[in-house]
Amino acid sequence: MGRGGDKELARMEQIVRENRSAGHRAFIVPCYYQADGMMNFKMERMKQLGQQRLLELGLDVTGVTWDEWKAMAYFEVGVPEPREPEKSCPKCAETIKAAAVMCRFCGSDLSGAA
């Protein structure tokens, strides 16, 4: 993607930062792609790059709509619920909470385990 595409991806990141800092759990991120003779190619490429960037930012992309007349894509995104840190039990390998001192599956004492 050229300079215009890079600027648009940076603008998308700014919109995500603003919405996250405002505490929004779901919002729409607009994305402009330059309309010219290669519009269909650019539209698909920007869709791929935009979705990839949003996923890298830790968002769930729940939908995308296009407005071909405005050369805009609108990504519907959601902020996933924060999860507690997890670890594997060293005895039975089941996934448990990182703060656990006893495995809920095998009953192993984890107070001395790292």
- pTM of this structure: 0.61
**47 and 93 assigned to the same domain:** no
- Domain check: are 63 and 110 in the same one? no
Q: Do 18 and 64 reside in the same domain of the chain?
A: yes
Residues 70 and 19 in one domain: yes
What is the C-alpha to C-alpha distance for residues 79 and 60, in angstroms, rounded to an integer?
6
* pLDDT-wise least confident of 25-39, 42-56, 81-95, 100-114: 25-39
For residues 26 and 79, the answer to whether their CB atoms sit within 8 Å is: yes
Q: Which of 23-27, 41-45, 52-56, 70-74 has the highest mean pLDDT?
A: 23-27
90 in the same domain as 66: no
Residues 104 and 48 in one domain: no
75/82: higher pLDDT? 75
| 62 and 14 co-located in one domain | yes
Count CB neighbours of 82 within 10 A: 6
Query: What is the span of the domain harbouring residue 56?
Result: 3-78
Average pLDDT score over residue span 25-37:
78
